[in-house]
Structure 1
């Protein structure tokens, strides 16, 4: 995990360098993650262009995009908006872990569409973000890393890095709920219990075996 040199984006890092249980490694500067991109500077855009960024996956709802539109300027990227539902977040009877489970159970197509965007020819390098870059982004990245075969301890460590980075430099990013390792371990356990594996979960929501193979080829 390497922090990105972006002045205008918080919680921005590269998941490259993480190792799979079989000994392979996630390629550097292929899958990036961050909080919202509404404050990107000219230098930020120049850096993103220099690494050949091709895809930006935005997991936010329309009202969030309207409030904080991405400042991507003229960057030659494909923008993909695949927002999981926030309906459960507004239910006081639902715990925050319940919100994660609602995303998995009710918005699987959103995560699958994001994975398909990562797997498409010429889709990488890609940057995934939401508002704070910790929950929706964290869950999607965890699913991707699990499909790649990254050890769960490393997946959790990447997930928890959001807590460290946002506490150190939140900028103007405000969020309601703190993150906890149990949120991601519980989510992965839920997927495995229900579908057998993360790969099966994605297949059940429309990702093809060929796309999963392309994702692995592109990121490992």
Structure 2
């Protein structure tokens, strides 16, 4: 295991997203959800100075697996990366892709409002330390953290290496692992590969020219981008 991983009892795949590019350590973390967080885990999070949690899960996931707090007083922002699953009543024409290779460009297409809100909050005073999490901290969290790291001048190789650490953090380094989803159905959690993240970032570049251009399209201002860099930089 790399020294980026931090043992937070009851939280999977918890690690420091900093130490690459200009992003300093100790201000931005990434993980799976807090729905099985223990009291000891909460004490350790408090010791990290946790002030903000960005929860990228769907409303259904939040209802099925609510985060535990154990007295922690951080702010939680619910910012779903993906749109709600469509139902027959609303046409049902844009379900979440099941295939990973299709999911990643779809995430880039749909995540703009969520990512813009993350950037705005991290640009504001008093937001740090912060944690970004989804269900297991692999896909939705992976894209969000990659965007933030790119804004802090991390290289593509550094961003990809950090992204791939989720395979270690989730025990996926030897292949897919079965799990029960929020509906109680058995599914397979699959390892991530470099090509997946590249497809998300490639979609952003193809449609908006750059990560800052993508965020500007979703309402983020240049002063906010500058403030985020100031807050997170070493």
Q: TM-score, normalised by structure 2?
A: 0.84
Q: How many Å apart are 1:147 and its aligned residue? A: 1.2
Task: Find the counterpart in structure 1 of residue 10 from structure 2.
Answer: 8
Task: Find the counterpart in structure 1 of residue 40 from structure 2.
Answer: 43
Corresponding residue to 2:192 among 156, 160, 179: 179
Task: Find the counterpart in structure 1 of residue 71 from structure 2.
Answer: 74
1:193-212 Cα shifts (integer Å, max 9, x gaps) = 22111011111101111111
Contact persistence 1:6–1:12 (CA under 8 A): yes
1:83 and 2:85 are equivalent in the alignment: no
The structure that has the greater radius of gyration is 2
User: Per residue, is there more helix in 1 or in 2?
Assistant: 1
Provide the alpha-carbon RMSD of the alignment.
2.2
State how far apart, in whole Å, the 1-side matches of 2:106 and 2:82 are: 8
1:4–1:199 Cα change, 3 Å: same
Task: Find the counterpart in structure 2 of residue 211 from structure 1.
Answer: 224
Contact persistence 2:104–2:199 (CA under 8 A): no
Contact persistence 2:112–2:218 (CA under 8 A): yes
State how far apart, in whole Å, the 1-side matches of 2:68 and 2:5 are: 20
Contact persistence 1:10–1:171 (CA under 8 A): no
Q: Could you say what secondary structure the match of 2:158 adopts?
A: helix
Task: Find the counterpart in structure 1 of residue 166 from structure 2.
Answer: 162
Task: Find the counterpart in structure 1 of residue 151 from structure 2.
Answer: 147
Q: Could you say what secondary structure the match of 2:136 adopts?
A: coil
Q: TM-score, normalised by structure 1?
A: 0.89
State how far apart, in whole Å, the 2-side matches of 1:173 and 1:156 are: 27
State how far apart, in whole Å, the 1-side matches of 2:152 and 2:120 are: 14
Q: How many Å apart are 1:45 and its aligned residue? A: 1.0
Structure 1: which 5+ residue stretches go unaligned?
Answer: none
Task: Find the counterpart in structure 2 of residue 190 from structure 1.
Answer: 203
Task: Find the counterpart in structure 2 of residue 117 from structure 1.
Answer: 121
Q: Could you say what secondary structure the match of 1:156 adopts?
A: helix
1:102-151 Cα shifts (integer Å, max 9, x gaps) = 22223311111122122221111100000011000000000111111100
Q: Could you say what secondary structure the match of 1:97 adopts?
A: helix
1:23-63 Cα shifts (integer Å, max 9, x gaps) = xx321110000011111111211121122111000000011
State how far apart, in whole Å, the 2-side matches of 1:14 and 1:28 are: 6
Q: How many Å apart are 1:171 and its aligned residue? A: 11
1:77-110 Cα shifts (integer Å, max 9, x gaps) = 1110110225455456xx4232222222233111
